[in-house]
Chains A and B, each alone.
Chain A
Amino acid sequence: MNRVPLLFLNVTIVATCGLVYELLAGTLASYVLGDSVTQFSLIIGLYLSAMGVGAWLSGKLERKLAERFIDVELAVALIGGFSAPILLLSFARLSWFPVVLYGLVFLIGTLVGLELPLLMRICKDRLSFKDLVSRFLTFDYLGALFGSLMFPLFFVPKIGLLKTSMVFGLGNAVVGLWGTWLLSDVIGGNLRMLRARGVFVIGVLLFGLTQADRVEGWSEDELFPDPVVLSKTSHYQRIVFTHSKRGYNLYLNGNLQFSSTDEYRYHEALVHPAFAAAPAPPKSVLVLGGGDGLAVREILRHESVTAITLVDLDPAMTTLAREFRPLVELNRDALRDPRVTVVNDDAFIWLDELFARAPETRFDVVIVDFPDPNNFALGKLYTRLFYQKLRRVMAPDAVATIQSTSPLYARRSFWSIVQTMEAAGLSVRPYQVTVPSFGVWGYALARLVPFDSPRTAPPGLAFLNDGQMAAMFDFPLDMAARPDDGLEVNRLDNQWLVRTYEAEWRRWQ
Chain B
Amino acid sequence: MTRRGALGRLAGLGFGVGAVAAGCTRGDDRQRRALLDGLDVAFDAQPEVLGHRIRDGARVEPPPDAWRTVGAVIVGGGVAGLSAARALRARGFTDFVVLELEAELGGTARGGRTPVSAHPWGAHYTNLPQASNPDYVAFLRAHGAIEGVDAHGEPVPTEAFVCRDPDERSFYAGKWFEGLLPASVMTTRATDELHRLERLAGEWAAFRDAQGRAAFALPVEHGSDASEVTALDRTTFAEWLDAHDLRSAPVRWLCDYACRDDFGAHPEQVSAFAGLHYFASRRRTPQAPGGGDTAPVLTWPEGNARLVEWLRADAAAEVLTGLAVADVAPGAADGGIEVRAIEAATGAARGFRAKQVLLAVPQVFAGRLLRPYREAPPPHLAEFVYGPWLVANLELHTRPGRRGFPLAWDNVPYGGPSLGYITATHQTGRDYGPTVLTWFEAIADADAGAARRAVLSWDAAACRDRVLADLERAHPDLLTRLSRMRFVRHGHAMIRPRPGFIHGPHRRAAAVPHRDVYFAHTDLGGMALFEEAFFHGRRAAAEMLEARGWPA
On whether the beta carbons of A152 and B3 are closer than 8 Å, the reply is yes
* Chain B residues in 8 Å Cβ range of A23: 7, 10
On whether the beta carbons of B166 and A346 are closer than 8 Å, the reply is no
Q: What's the nearest-Cβ distance from chain B to residue A445, in Å?
A: 23
Asked if A1 is at the interface of the complex by the 8 Å CB criterion, the answer is no
Bound-complex Cα distance A35 to B404 (A): 11
Residues of A171-197 at the interface with B, using a CB-CB cut-off of 8 Å, are none
* Chain B residues in 8 Å Cβ range of A380: 164, 429, 431
On whether the beta carbons of A152 and B7 are closer than 8 Å, the reply is yes
* Chain A residues in 8 Å Cβ range of B16: 48
Partner of A48, one of B14, B165, B167, B428: B14
Residues of B1-21 at the interface with A, using a CB-CB cut-off of 8 Å, are 1, 3-4, 6-8, 10-17, 20
Prevailing SS type, chain B contact patch: loop
Q: What's the nearest-Cβ distance from chain A to residue B512, in Å?
A: 41
A18 with B4: in contact, given A376-B165, A385-B160 (CB under 8 Å)? Answer: no
Partner of A349, one of B15, B296, B430: B430
Bound-complex Cα distance A380 to B164 (A): 9
On whether the beta carbons of B432 and A235 are closer than 8 Å, the reply is yes
B403 (CB) vs chain A CBs: closest residue: A35
Asked if B505 is at the interface of the complex by the 8 Å CB criterion, the answer is no
On whether the beta carbons of B429 and A144 are closer than 8 Å, the reply is no
Partner of B14, one of A30, A44, A137, A494: A44
On whether the beta carbons of A383 and B10 are closer than 8 Å, the reply is no
On whether the beta carbons of A140 and B15 are closer than 8 Å, the reply is yes
A44 (CB) vs chain B CBs: closest residue: B13
Bound-complex Cα distance A348 to B425 (A): 13
On whether the beta carbons of A144 and B159 are closer than 8 Å, the reply is no
On whether the beta carbons of A492 and B162 are closer than 8 Å, the reply is yes
Chain A 32-68, CB within 8 Å of chain B: the 1/0 string?
Answer: 0011110010001001100100000000000000000
* Chain A residues in 8 Å Cβ range of B1: 36-37, 40
Asked if B416 is at the interface of the complex by the 8 Å CB criterion, the answer is no
Chain B: number of interface residues, binned into ranges: 20 to 34
Partner of A375, one of B17, B296, B406, B428: B406
On whether the beta carbons of B166 and A148 are closer than 8 Å, the reply is no
B164 (CB) vs chain A CBs: closest residue: A492
Bound-complex Cα distance A176 to B20 (A): 27
On whether the beta carbons of B428 and A22 are closer than 8 Å, the reply is no
Bound-complex Cα distance A35 to B432 (A): 22
A15 (CB) vs chain B CBs: closest residue: B15
Partner of A18, one of B14, B165, B430: B14
Asked if A265 is at the interface of the complex by the 8 Å CB criterion, the answer is no
On whether the beta carbons of A19 and B6 are closer than 8 Å, the reply is no
Q: What's the nearest-Cβ distance from chain A to residue B92, in Å?
A: 34
On whether the beta carbons of B10 and A44 are closer than 8 Å, the reply is yes
* Chain B residues in 8 Å Cβ range of A235: 432-433
A377 with B431: in contact, given A37-B476, A141-B20, A493-B165 (CB under 8 Å)? Answer: yes
On whether the beta carbons of A152 and B4 are closer than 8 Å, the reply is yes
Asked if B180 is at the interface of the complex by the 8 Å CB criterion, the answer is no
A376 with B159: in contact, given A141-B20, A152-B4 (CB under 8 Å)? Answer: no
* Chain B residues in 8 Å Cβ range of A27: 3, 7
Partner of B159, one of A37, A51, A151, A492: A492
* Chain A residues in 8 Å Cβ range of B3: 27, 30, 36, 152
Q: What's the nearest-Cβ distance from chain A to residue B403, in Å?
A: 7
* Chain A residues in 8 Å Cβ range of B174: 35, 37
Q: Which residues of B contact A (CB under 8 A)?
A: 1, 3-4, 6-8, 10-17, 20, 159-160, 162-167, 174, 296, 403, 406, 428-433, 476
Please give 19 more A-B residue pairs, beta carbons under 8 A apart, in addition to A346-B431, A495-B165.
A26-B10, A36-B6, A40-B6, A44-B14, A141-B12, A144-B14, A144-B20, A147-B11, A148-B7, A148-B12, A235-B432, A377-B431, A379-B165, A380-B431, A491-B159, A492-B165, A493-B162, A493-B164, A494-B165
Can you list 6 A-B contacts (CB < 8 A)? A27-B3, A30-B3, A346-B432, A377-B431, A380-B429, A492-B160
